[in-house]
Amino acid sequence: MSKHQALETFGRSGNPVFGNKFDGDAQFRDLPVTEKMTLDGTVNKTGILLALCFATAAISWNLPSPVLMFSGMGIGAILALVTIFKPTIAATTAPIYAACQGLFLGGITVLFEAQFPGIAIQAIGLTFGTLASLLVCYKTGIIKPTENFRLMIVSATAGIALLYIVNIGMMVFGGGSGIGFIHSNGLIGIGFSLFVVAIAALNLVLDFDFIEQGSENGLPKHMEWFGAFSLMVTLVWLYLEILRLLAKLRSNN
């Protein structure tokens, strides 16, 4: 058995989304082929999640309402946490998560679009462009994720998360504008946004590797939903960061 075949235990991954308790020793080896995770299934399920996200985003885009937007964000965040800790129910939670995120993204995109016309389609194009180009780089072996790569990306993601949490805390409890340059459209603010976009994009490579190895090792079928969910989480983050970056660039002119 190669070391990668022990994948099914999935005990302690570095990626927050992948840090699941995957507690089955050799039980998956005996699964029938139709019950195993495949690349085909994961990509199809990602398509379903994207379609759901677009459908609800269209609703929120045409009927902009803070209630829809914030309820989508809140329920989406809760469902994301639930799915991370219990991937076996991903088939149920991932579609609802995608629908909720669609409501949130549709609402927030309307706000950006009102201020900077044309920004929405730019952000969508760049997000999917990044997804496709990194997938090509991964599949062809141009980018080869290693343990050090994972350490760097996971640490940087954790650092950014900490920064955002402190920023929100300062805005809510400090009454100020939080960490100023995160929102500034100056050179440092744009540089910061570029860095965050790069880290979000490189998280996609970790997602691809997880899905590739998961299908190689025949994880159970529900992990297709989990793989699709993890891609969605990263894509939503990447889209929001690209939207912010474009807004900074446009307001800087």
CA 40 to CA 54: how far, in whole Å? 21
Asked whether position 174 contacts another protein by CB under 8 A, the answer is no
Check binding of 152 to another protein (CB under 8 A): yes
Nearer to another protein, 74 or 129 (CB): 129
- Judge residue 1's burial from the number of C-beta atoms within 10 Å of its C-beta, 0-12 exposed, 13-18 middle, 19 or more buried: exposed
151 binds another protein (CB under 8 A): yes
Other CB atoms within a 10 A radius of the CB of residue 150 amount to: 18
> Which of 35, 78, 180, 251 contacts another protein by CB under 8 A?
180
Both tokens assigned to 115: 């201020």
Give the three-state DSSP class for 220.
strand
Q: With binding defined as CB under 8 A, does residue 112 bind another protein?
A: no
**Could you tell me which residues come within 8 angstroms of residue 236 by beta carbon, excluding any fewer than 6 positions away?**
53, 101, 105
Piece in contact with another protein (CB under 8 A), picked from 27-35, 60-68, 88-96, 155-163:
155-163
Structure tokens at 118: 């044309």
Q: By CB under 8 A, name the binding residues for another protein.
A: 3-4, 6-14, 18, 39-40, 42-43, 46-47, 50, 118, 121-122, 124-129, 131-133, 135-136, 138-141, 144-152, 154-156, 158-160, 162-163, 166, 179-182, 184, 188, 192, 206, 208-210, 212-214, 216
